Every structure is written in structure tokens, then in C-alpha cells.
Chain A
Amino acid sequence: MFFSYVKYELKKYFKTKDVFLWLLLFPVALGFLFKIAFLGIWEENIFTAIPVAVVAEAENPAFEAVIDELSKGEEPFLEVNYTDMEDAEKKLEKEEIKGIFLVSDTISLTVAENSMTSTVLKSFADNYIHTENTIKDIANSSPDKVMSAVETLSGWNEAAAKETILAARESDPYVSYFYNLITMVCLFASMAGVRIAVENQANLSYAGARKECTAMPKLKRILASYFATFISSTVCSLISVSYIRFVLGVELGENLVPIYISTIFGSNLGLAIGFAIGAIGKFSESIKDGIATGVSLICCFLSGLMVNIKGIIEQYAPIVNRINPASIIVDSFFAVAVFDDYSQYGFLILKMTVMSVMFIVLGIFLVRRKKYECI
């Protein structure tokens, strides 16, 4: 009885157009747009030489050697213009160059805007300055080792610079939009959750009334519906993740398994939220769908899908980030993919599970009513 029911619920689910629209086509389309909007720019900037100006107010042969090394080869990292500050500033204003390296007592960098290119240049400059300071310290404390240190500095070659680029890539702010996109797909499972409640209540649908007359216990029906819908929505979410990773080529993290696990738990959380929404009140399915969609979008907005608002919320109302399902799902991605913090990841997975159970129990409590005032 249970598995036959699950089989037909799965068939129904995969033949419902809304599912494909919201859980497959929508993330595919939006992911593609994100790719064009963000990664297109990123790739262009990373894999073509970045035009910079070097204004030398003092001599720094080591820095010049590194700069020269990075502007050589088949795929140079930098396109260097040696010029004066006035000319460099004009070029920066006209966006002919992306940054100005001022070589004086130390190395300083001026960039025009906050972009992926500027992040990479800043990262490069910071690393160089840090290495140079280290050598200076060695020279002061252990003059005998200064030569080997200089060699180290001279070894600041293209490979090291590309390592810097990779490091910058790990903190790529655009990847967070893809994490948010996956999160949105997870929360859109809430619409399927609404359907579970609606199709099992006599006062909300004809099918619900018909099912209530059968010999299959209500709780069994709801659990079978939930199980089938969980499988279906999770499959859709995992397809979306795979599409983003393998078709769009977005680097979601070194280890994809925890990303998939987060997605599974996230989908369950979305489904549970939808089930609870579907169980509340006597509104029509379309109104409840609207509420579920609205809740999902608000949660995603607060977790930074549209604009990067999460930091501001963390500063002024951190509790929102703690309880926002979208933030919890996104944080779990960051915990493993960026911070490599598996204890935090485990805590967030546990949090998702507890929240899911709470919403499921709430939903069951609300639909537990045996008879209806009117149908």
C-alpha cells in the first residue's frame, strides 16, 4: 500500500510541469545567467593580462624583476606600462588600466573599483609586500641568510602569482551567488510541500476529500506523500547542483560530497517549510503556493541572493542569520567549501534537521484534524 502510493506520487510529481519549471528550468536558466554575468567577467579578467601602470619613484630591482616575469610568456599575467603618476591616474580614470603600482619606499597599489581584477591585484600586492617585509626582517636579524631570502623573493615568479590568483579564486564573491541559487532551489521545494498538505485534506481539494474516504490511514498517506516528494525534489536539487558544477564549471568546493549532502538536507528543510505552510488555514493552493514562494524568496534575499545583505544583517540582527533557513543552507556550503570547518558544517546540518522535524511536526499537528466544519 505504502510503496504503491509512493510510486504513483513520484509519477505525479515528475509529470507536473511546475516542478520542472521551478526546480529544474529556473535554476538552469538563472545559473546560466549568473555564469554569463559573473564568471564571464571573471574569466576574462583572470585569463587575459591585466593592464597596470608602474610608477617608479624609487628603485626596487626585485619588484621590477617580478613584474617583468609576470608580463612575459604566452599567457602573461600583467600588461605593464612604466609611466609617471599623472599619466597613470588618467589611464586609470579612462579604465585603460586596472591599477597603479607605486614603487617608493614600499609598494602601494591604487585600483579604481572593487572588482575581481582589483581583488587579484590587491592579493598579489599584499603577498609581495609581506614577502619583502619578511626579507627585510631577516636581513636585520640574520644578515647571513639574506642572500637565500633574496633568492626566495626573486623566485616570486609567474607560478607564485598564479597561486595568488587561485587563492583569490577561493574567496571568489561570485561563487556565493551560486550557493544562494542552490539554496533557492532547495527552498522552492516548499511548493511541493504545500501540495502534500493540500492533497491530503478534504477541505482543501477534491482529491483530499476522496483520499480521506479510503482505507489508507491519514498519517501513512502523508508520510508516503512526503517521502515521494522528498525524493523527487532532492533529485531535482542535486541535478541543479551537478549542472552548476559540471556544465557551468563553477568551482563549488574541493569536495562536492558535503555540498550534495547539504543540498539534500536543504531540500528537506524547504519541503518541510512548505508542508507547514500548506497545513495552515483554509486558503487555496495557489495562495499557499504564493506564500511559500514569497517566504523562500525573502529568505534567499536575506541570505544574499540578490544583494550582499548578509553582512549587514550579521552586524545589526545576527539572530536573523541564525534562524533564516536560506542562511543556514548557504553557511553550510561555506563551512566546507571555503572554511573547511566540518564541525560547523555538522552543526548546521543538525540545525537543518531539527528545523525540518519541527516544521513536519507542526504540519502533521495542523492536518491531524479528523473532521471538517465544511468542505
Chain B
Amino acid sequence: MAEIVVRIHDLVKRYKDIVAVDHLDLDIKEGEIFGLLGPNGSGKTTTIHCLLSLLSYESGDITIFGKPMTPTSYDIKKDIGVVMQNVAVFDQLTVYENIDFFCSMYVKDKKKRVELVKEAIEFTGLEDFTDFYPKKLSGGLLRRLNIACGIAHKPRLIFFDEPTVAVDPQSRNKILEGIIELNKNGSTIIYTSHYMEEVEQICTRIAILDGGRKIAEGTKEELKQIVKVTETIEIETAAIENSVLCEIRGAEHILSAEYSDHTLTVCCSGGSHNLMSVLEILKNRNVMIGQVYSKLPTLNDVFLEVTGKELRDREG
């Protein structure tokens, strides 16, 4: 059984009257890419900051690698990499110097550091920009530099706090591929984002936070079982009689069936041959059909179902 790398028990963090993290419990195992998903102000970044011992908190326990995490836990920190949401590099230093500067705060041996910096540069695809100053880099390259600074010392545990904010699709893809590679190389990853598709693409386990509370946790598959609608079928048809609609609605595992704009939309819950059943009914009633679509639930559906659809805009 994989070792628990990070354990959060009953964590409570308040900003004056606002509860940013509300009795949070989390266990993150070695080798995972653990996604912390939540709307703005849900407490993702605050949780990361508490984990890194940057923020004080009202109550709770945090252990990393089995040891309590404190601001002076330098033996723990040497195995942690951090890629902050805000790019934290120095404009006066070149790409190479920035990576070496941060790496020097973990690794004393200069020769070893030269190797590590070189590997980090190759890993993030910054080979052509080593002598560039950050101000000359595009947003995507800057994010990659931020990542290189955080991972150059080859940490066992890496925090990525929304690393793909405001980057182009190519850079985003490069970053996500890099994270998967880091994980394959043995690093445990904690990844926060509100981009569902990213989390769905790379995370092996996910916790959804809202209002500082953990409202769901599990693998993608487990989370998708939370949603009521397990399959949505859309069929282009000519006009359908009401009786046909009633027959579809009456079938097993069918939650709803609606017809508008020449499209029949059927929501199913459970079952494994819903599409076949609906097509069978249509065939029997001599309904002509065009294109057929079947959509399985996405993480976005899970997210919206568990967090609600109202707009969020709170700091956290």
C-alpha cells in the first residue's frame, strides 16, 4: 500500500469572519497526481499555503512525509517543490540564473546543481532562452520558467497552484505533459485548478472544495457516479408524437425525454444499453432518425452538480 505523503486532519483556517478552510481532512498517497478542484474562493490556495506552513491556521494537523509540517521543517522542505500561482522570478536574473538561484536554496553542490539546472531547462523546453531575462519572455515561457524554478531540485512532492493560468494551448499542453512526466519519474503531485478538463486529463484522484469544505473526493470514475445523469442521448429526428415521448419516458433508466429544434434529448440514469433501448422504441414507432450522439458525464457535470451553478467571486 502506498505511503501517505500528505495528511491534513480537521484543518480550519479563518480570515477574520470568513471561514476559508472548514474542517478539511485529506490523505494524499505517494505517486498520486492529486487534484484540488473548486470554484474561486473555495479554499484551494489557502489549503496549499497552510500545507506549506506559510499561513497560520486556527486548528488542525498537517503532516508531510509522516512528520509535522512547521515553518522550520527544512528537512521536509528540501523534498518539496512549489510552483506558485503568481510567477515569482527575478527580472534582474536570466532564465538560467533564476533556476540556479532557486535550486541553490536546496542543493549546495555546485556540480550537481549545474546538472539539475540543465535537466530542468530541457524538461521545460527553455533551451533557447537560457540567456533571456524574464521581461523578454512570453506568458507561456514565463510559466515554464516558474515551473523550472520549482522543480529543478527534483523534489518528491510538488505543489502546482494553477500553473496554467493565462497561457496559450501549446504551453498548457507542454505543462500538463511535463506534470505527468514528473509523476512518472516518481514525484507526488498536488495540483489545484478550476479548469475541469486539465484535472480530468492528469489527476488520478480529485477532491472538490467549495466554501472551504471538501464536498467530494475520489477518482474521476468515482466522482462521475455522483451525478444523476450518467448518459445524455441526443438524436436528430423529424417531428415526434407525444405518445412516443411518453413511451421513451416510461422506459427503464430514463430520467427525462424532451423534443425541441428537431432534436430529441434523453437523459439516462444508470443502465448500460440506454441508447439501444431508445433507438428500438423509435424504430418500432417508425420515426426517422438522423445523427445520434451519446455523451457520458464529464468532471464539469460533476463539479456543477456538487457546487451548484450560481456565480462565485470570493477571494480565498
Contact = CB atoms under 8 A, between A and B. Distances in A.
Nearest to A15: B92
B82 interface: yes
Contacts of B100: 4, 8
Name the interface size band of chain B: 20 to 34
B29 interface: no
A213 interface: yes
B293 interface: no
A211 B74 CA distance: 12
B273 interface: no
A212 B71 contact: yes
A64 to B, nearest CB: 70
Given A4-B110, A207-B90, A373 B55 contact: yes
B87 interface: yes
A94 interface: no
B55 A375 contact: yes
B90 A206 contact: no
Contact of A214 (B15, B53, B77): B77
A90 interface: no
Contacts of B49: 375
B104 A8 contact: yes
Interface string A192-225: 0000000000100111011111111110010000
A372 interface: yes
Given A5-B104, A8-B104, A212 B88 contact: no
B259 interface: no
Could you say which of A202, A214, A221, A375 has the most chain B C-beta atoms within 10 Å of its C-beta? Answer: A214
Contact of B54 (A205, A212, A221): A212
A142 interface: no
Contacts of B53: 370-371
A210 B106 contact: no
Contacts of A215: 74-75, 77-78, 105-106
Contacts of A212: 52, 54, 71
Contacts of B78: 215
Nearest to B81: A213
A221 B77 CA distance: 15
A374 interface: yes
Contact of B70 (A5, A221, A370, A372): A370
B110 A373 contact: no
Nearest to B80: A213
B243 interface: no
Interface residues of A, number: 30
B102 to A, nearest CB: 7
B102 A214 contact: yes
Contacts of B101: 4-5, 8
A282 interface: no
Contacts of A216: 74, 105-106
B185 interface: no
A297 B82 CA distance: 41
A371 B73 CA distance: 13
Interface in B45-80: 49, 52-56, 70-72, 74-75, 77-78, 80
A212 B93 CA distance: 19
Nearest to A16: B92
Contact of B55 (A13, A221, A372): A372
Interface string A86-104: 0000000000000000000
A216 B102 CA distance: 10
B173 interface: no
B84 A210 contact: yes
A370 B105 contact: no
A209 B92 contact: no
A372 B54 contact: yes
B138 interface: no
B98 to A, nearest CB: 9
Given A213-B80, A215-B74, A215-B78, A371 B105 contact: no
Contacts of B52: 212-213
Interface in A158-211: 202, 205-207, 209-211
Nearest to A370: B71
B201 interface: no
Contact of A374 (B55, B80, B88): B55
Contact of B102 (A16, A210, A374): A210
B82 A12 contact: no
Contacts of A214: 77, 102, 105-106
A157 B92 CA distance: 62
Nearest to B101: A8
Interface string A3-45: 0110010011101100000000000000000000000000000
B57 to A, nearest CB: 8
Given A12-B93, A210-B82, A215-B106, 16 more contacts: A4-B110, A8-B100, A12-B90, A205-B88, A206-B86, A206-B87, A207-B88, A209-B54, A209-B84, A209-B88, A213-B52, A213-B54, A214-B77, A216-B74, A370-B53, A374-B15
17 contacts: A1-B105, A4-B113, A8-B93, A11-B92, A12-B93, A202-B54, A205-B88, A206-B88, A209-B54, A209-B88, A211-B105, A212-B71, A213-B77, A213-B82, A216-B74, A217-B74, A371-B56
Which 5 A-B pairs have CB atoms at the shortest separation, nearest pair first? Answer: A370-B71, A15-B92, A214-B105, A215-B78, A210-B88
